A and B are shown apart, each in its own frame.
Chain A
Amino acid sequence: MVRETLNRQIHHILDETLLLGSMVEQAILNAVNALKLRDVSAAKDIYDEDQAINDKRYAIENAVLILISTQQPVAHDLRVLTAVLEVTTELERIGDYAKGIAKVIIKLGSESLPIPIREITRMAEVGVSMLHRALGAFITENAQQAAEIPSEDDEVDELYNQVYRSMVNAMISDPSIIDSANLILWIAHNLERTADRVTNLCERTLFIATGELMEMDTSDDESMD
């Protein structure tokens, strides 16, 4: 079998990408759990652990650049490697969302707030489930599975709307919590964006499988970004 070296290194990069994905999934779940428990100490750990996610992303990016410059991959190999660059960027940004949630938890401290925790937890569960399966589809190059995942974003959007309405009502009834309630909305926003980024990841799986770069439709309107 020719190109053993290239094959081995691409597999290593894909393994590392999966590992980065697990770190990010765990960070999001831990962040929402810390919110549920209002555990400032756990939030500080999540905040600090983001550095490991960033380091892993740069290590993968570096490995891809070395492979491109030394092995001159083309066609499918090249599509996989450029897709990895995009996917690791998306994962690192989702890691930043977990860090952002941790920052809010630290900022809120023990302040009493009517947090719609059930909806927020569900947003995280759906988002992480989408991410997990999107990564699986990416590694196995399962275009069909990748094409089906983005529509699940609708549930996340609906949950976001529920959180939004809930917090707006809370702010109307008690304007003194406006600042803190805005921070809760920020958490929901981060989780909503997590699901959006999963869609980008699915687009890369289609790219590897078909060679076509195309935007996948979700019902979400991102014009506010």
Chain B
Amino acid sequence: MTALTSTSDNNSFAIEARNVHLHYGSFRAVKDVNLQIKARKITAIIGPSGCGKSTVLRAFNRMNDFVPSFKMEGEILFHGKNIYDPDVDPVQIRQMIGMVFQKPNPFPKSIYENIAWGARVNGFKGNMDDLVEESLQKAALWEEVKDNLKKNALTLSGGQQQRLCIARTIAVRPEIILMDEPCSALDPIATLKIEELMRDLSSSYTIIIVTHNMQQAARASDYTAFFTMEEDRAGVMVEYDITSHLFVNPKKKQTEDYISGRYG
């Protein structure tokens, strides 16, 4: 997709939402979001249920396109180009901006094939064994599975499955990894492993994570965006700041009330 790759990217933002409104049919789910995501940093999106944080996350790689009633106003700029422009290929967008879901969802195939399949579909022509090893190494899973690559991925533990899904995302060489509650189905140790992995990955990738777990946002992210919903139930972004600032000295009372557990 030349439209997205030809622009030299000198600014430090990996992706930017400008005046974004998101609708499902007549319901406005998210109102007027302006959010500049820093490159190779971890940005957490927090907020109460129904505030539109997952909707915003999905807008970043056009995952909402699968919802027939979905409509978007505004722009999401990636390499200076609105990813919703008619000449943009959403499949390529999803390759460059990958997503890891709440529940680990490996294919019911071997560990090896889970990595290789996506790369093959995307036309990968290099050494597949090397790609599989490199992706599993980056996802901090290689040491645990290197002797069992032919084993069915569904036999792995939940935490290992989630790291496999991260490896699968990395294998198609994205620039941005979106994570939608990636640890909500995992135990605390597996959760901490994912958080450490996110930290390692952030030297090469931009990560945006939606999480209900505020301690996770505080522990694992560099920047935090707090969303809430207004009386018409439309989600709005209340505050966006460096994580350590937002959790020690939030500027808005709504943020203070939410993060200190006095919401509602």
Binding site for B on A (CB under 8 A): 1-3, 6, 72-79, 210-212
Task: Sort chain B's interface into a size bin.
Answer: 10 to 19
Contact status of A3 and B249, CB under 8 A, knowing A72-B215, A74-B214, A74-B218: no
Who on chain A is nearest to B247 by CB?
A: A74
B249 to A79, Cβ gap below 8 A? yes
Question: Is B8 in the interface zone, CB < 8 Å from A?
Answer: no
Cα distance A75–B260 in the bound complex, in angstroms: 7
For residue A5, give the distance in angstroms from its CB to the closest CB of chain B.
Answer: 10
B248 to A79, Cβ gap below 8 A? yes
Contact status of A75 and B215, CB under 8 A, knowing A2-B262, A2-B264: no
Cα distance A3–B262 in the bound complex, in angstroms: 7
For residue B129, give the distance in angstroms from its CB to the closest CB of chain A.
Answer: 45
Quick one: which of B223-264 are within 8 Å of A by CB?
247-250, 255-256, 259-264
Cα distance A77–B259 in the bound complex, in angstroms: 10
Max chain A Cβ within 10 angstroms of own Cβ: one of B250, B262, B264 = B262
Q: Across chains A and B, which 7 residue pairs bring their CB atoms closest together, nearest first?
A: A211-B249, A74-B247, A3-B261, A75-B256, A74-B259, A75-B260, A75-B250
For residue A65, give the distance in angstroms from its CB to the closest CB of chain B.
Answer: 17
Point out the residues of chain A lying under 8 angstroms from B260, CB to CB: 3, 73-77
Point out the residues of chain B lying under 8 angstroms from A2, CB to CB: 261-264
Who on chain B is nearest to A82 by CB?
A: B248
B247 to A75, Cβ gap below 8 A? yes
0 or 1 for each of B83-112: is its CB under 8 Å from A? (1 = yes) = 000000000000000000000000000000
Who on chain B is nearest to A77 by CB?
A: B260
Cα distance A74–B56 in the bound complex, in angstroms: 26
0 or 1 for each of B146-173: is its CB under 8 Å from A? (1 = yes) = 0000000000000000000000000000
Point out the residues of chain A lying under 8 angstroms from B250, CB to CB: 75
Cα distance A46–B263 in the bound complex, in angstroms: 48
Q: List 24 A-B contacts (CB under 8 A).
A: A1-B262, A2-B261, A2-B263, A3-B260, A3-B261, A3-B262, A72-B215, A73-B260, A74-B247, A74-B260, A75-B247, A75-B248, A75-B249, A75-B250, A75-B256, A75-B259, A75-B260, A76-B256, A76-B260, A79-B248, A79-B249, A211-B248, A211-B249, A212-B249
Point out the residues of chain A lying under 8 angstroms from B259, CB to CB: 74-75
A6 to B248, Cβ gap below 8 A? no
Max chain B Cβ within 10 angstroms of own Cβ: one of A2, A75, A77, A211 = A75
Cα distance A62–B124 in the bound complex, in angstroms: 58
Point out the residues of chain A lying under 8 angstroms from B214, CB to CB: 74
Cα distance A1–B260 in the bound complex, in angstroms: 12
For residue A1, give the distance in angstroms from its CB to the closest CB of chain B.
Answer: 8
Point out the residues of chain A lying under 8 angstroms from B249, CB to CB: 75, 79, 210-212
Point out the residues of chain B lying under 8 angstroms from A210, CB to CB: 249
Cα distance A75–B261 in the bound complex, in angstroms: 11
For residue B264, give the distance in angstroms from its CB to the closest CB of chain A.
Answer: 7
Point out the residues of chain B lying under 8 angstroms from A212, CB to CB: 249
Known A-B contacts: A6-B261, A74-B248. Give 13 more (CB < 8 A). A2-B262, A2-B263, A2-B264, A3-B262, A72-B215, A75-B255, A75-B260, A76-B256, A76-B260, A78-B247, A79-B249, A210-B249, A212-B249
Max chain B Cβ within 10 angstroms of own Cβ: one of A1, A74, A76, A210 = A74
Quick one: which of B206-227 are within 8 Å of A by CB?
214-215, 218
Cα distance A210–B245 in the bound complex, in angstroms: 12
Who on chain A is nearest to B214 by CB?
A: A74
For residue B262, give the distance in angstroms from its CB to the closest CB of chain A.
Answer: 6
Cα distance A25–B49 in the bound complex, in angstroms: 50
Cα distance A101–B184 in the bound complex, in angstroms: 59
